[in-house]
Amino acid sequence: MTFHTQKRSDLIALCGTDPIRLLNAMEAGAGDWAAANLPGHMLPGIARYLILGVRPGSFLCAMLTNDLGATVLRADEANFGRIGLWVKWLHNFAPPRSFGGEAFMQRWVETGGLRGGYEDDGA
């Protein structure tokens, strides 16, 4: 699936109904691993962020910007014990430059994520 050729409204709908399929289309095995290890209620949000560049909620924002203190403080019960798994998933499956600091996240959002044709220029 090439995200830039898909209608935004269709992708938004799929993020809510089948985020595992979209994450697998992004990177082989990403959705399956996430479904097995991460809280299911978080998958639509991470899919919307990575594929469409939609800014996620406070926990994922803290995680994506490498703010450990805020990540711990904003984690709900389902995420608190899985912070290490989130780090592993981001490192193994998320596109480069989609996380790692506030500037990375802001640029990802501004360019519309994978659908927006984000290009890593090495900056």
Domain hosting 60: range is 3-111
Residue 120 lies in a domain: no
For 108, the 3-state DSSP assignment is helix
Give the number of domains in the chain: 1
Residue 118 lies in a domain: no
Tell me, yes or no, if the pTM score tops 0.75: yes
Residue 117 lies in a domain: no
Give residue 88's pLDDT band: very low, low, confident or very high (50, 70, 90).
Answer: very high
Higher pLDDT, 6 or 120: 6
In angstroms, rounded to a whole number, what is the distance separating the alpha carbons of residues 70 and 104? 17
For 28, the 3-state DSSP assignment is coil
Residue 122 lies in a domain: no
Q: ∠ CA(81), CA(83), CA(85), 5° rounding?
A: 100
Residue 81 lies in a domain: yes
Write out pLDDT tens, residues 33-56. 999 999 999 999 999 999 999 999
Radius of gyration of the chain (CA): 13
